[in-house]
Structure 1
Amino acid sequence: MRSWLIKLRKEQDLTQQEIAAGAHIDRAYYAQIENGTRNPSMTVASQIASYLHINPSLFYTEHLSEPFEKALVHSPVVIAHCDLNLRYTWMFNPHPDFKMNVVIGKRDDELDINEGTTGLMELKQSVMDDGITRREIIAFPLSEGLIRYDVFAQPLYDQNGHIIGAATVSVELLM
């Protein structure tokens, strides 16, 4: 079951039929993708992702290579992508205060408003505005206190070389 996909559909107040029509696929096929009994081809995943404004790799995150996942899961590293509107399209290994199915499709300021989220949004926006990779230390108030992250941000490009978002890698710093 792809609960993140169901939640995203419901948050956008869409029906399975509307998504299927927008992605140019059969509604029954979409229902099978949503309930996890079928995996979409990369083409179909891209069509659905385009309609929902998400990254198609979300459909395959459960199939990350085992060494990569084992090395990073529960590590102090968070990897994320956002679109030009600063909405998360993909995330791996979020801080325990955040669940991926809640984060996808949201902006940082829709999840929490503080100096850290404001700083992160400004960093991502500046990277997208001028195409220059940046690195910054940003502190976030989280459940266990103020946590500092070394955030590396770079633009994401489409196949035509146009900036379509930003990618970040954040490493929690020890105090």
Structure 2
Amino acid sequence: MAYIDRGFYAQIENGTRDPSIHVAKKIANALFISPAAFFSHQIEVLFESSLIHSPIVVAHFDLELKYTWIFNPHNDFDPNDLLGKTDEQITKNDGTIALMNLKREVIETNHIVRKKITFPTSEGFITYDVFGKPILEAGHLIGGTTVSSDVTHLIT
């Protein structure tokens, strides 16, 4: 059990106070949840402030290779227009075909795949180091994630 003061617990419930890591772990264990649930907003703020406008794109895709979430896509794309679509439904070129193949390999092999892929953009050609890995939920494959880092400046 967590054994914390009811007033303190009420502040946590109301969102007016965050528990310490120690207390969060006790409450999470009692409720069978992850302690990260208490700090998800802080984690989100740190993630966003660290990566916004960086040369890194992070995305999730389902078993049909359709985007379910994307963060920080290239300026040529509106993230809201990408959700529920495959790369080839968004635009078709050698880069998107290679990205679809990488995602397909992640799903088919259930393994991490990493490749350099070049895409045509409004700024010219951009090369990304794409890291793809499967996403498992309760031991079942539900899709994958990619982290793409712009490495154009390293290869030109």
- Residue in 2 aligned with 1:41? none
Structure whose alpha-carbon radius of gyration is higher: 2
Per the TM alignment, residue 70 of structure 1 is displaced from its structure 2 partner at its CA by 1.2
Please report the RMSD computed on the Cα atoms of aligned residues, expressed in angstroms: 1.7
Gaps of 5+ in 1: 1-60
- Residue in 2 aligned with 1:163? 141
- Residue in 1 aligned with 2:59? 80
- Residue in 2 aligned with 1:89? 68
Change (3 A) 1:141 1:63: farther
Distance in 2 (CA, whole Å) between partners of 1:106 and 1:166 is: 14
Distance in 1 (CA, whole Å) between partners of 2:61 and 2:121 is: 21
- Residue in 2 aligned with 1:144? 123
Per the TM alignment, residue 64 of structure 1 is displaced from its structure 2 partner at its CA by 6.0
Paired letter, 2:144: A
Per the TM alignment, residue 67 of structure 1 is displaced from its structure 2 partner at its CA by 2.2
- Residue in 1 aligned with 2:78? 99
| Runs of 4+ more than 3 Å apart | 61-64
Would you say how many aligned residue pairs link Structure 1 and Structure 2?
114
- Residue in 1 aligned with 2:48? 69
TM, length-normalised to structure 2: 0.69
Gaps of 5+ in 2: 1-39
Per the TM alignment, residue 66 of structure 1 is displaced from its structure 2 partner at its CA by 2.2
Change (3 A) 1:93 1:62: farther
Per the TM alignment, residue 68 of structure 1 is displaced from its structure 2 partner at its CA by 1.7
In proportion to residue count, which structure has more strand?
2
- Give deviations 1:46-85, integer Å, cap 9, x for gaps: xxxxxxxxxxxxxxx9986322211100000000000010
Distance in 1 (CA, whole Å) between partners of 2:41 and 2:98 is: 30
- Give deviations 1:104-125, integer Å, cap 9, x for gaps: 0111001110010000000011
- Give deviations 1:109-153, integer Å, cap 9, x for gaps: 011100100000000110110111011000000110010000000
- Residue in 1 aligned with 2:94? 115
Per the TM alignment, residue 164 of structure 1 is displaced from its structure 2 partner at its CA by 1.0
- Residue in 1 aligned with 2:150? 172
Q: 2:104 aligns with which of 114, 119, 125?
A: 125
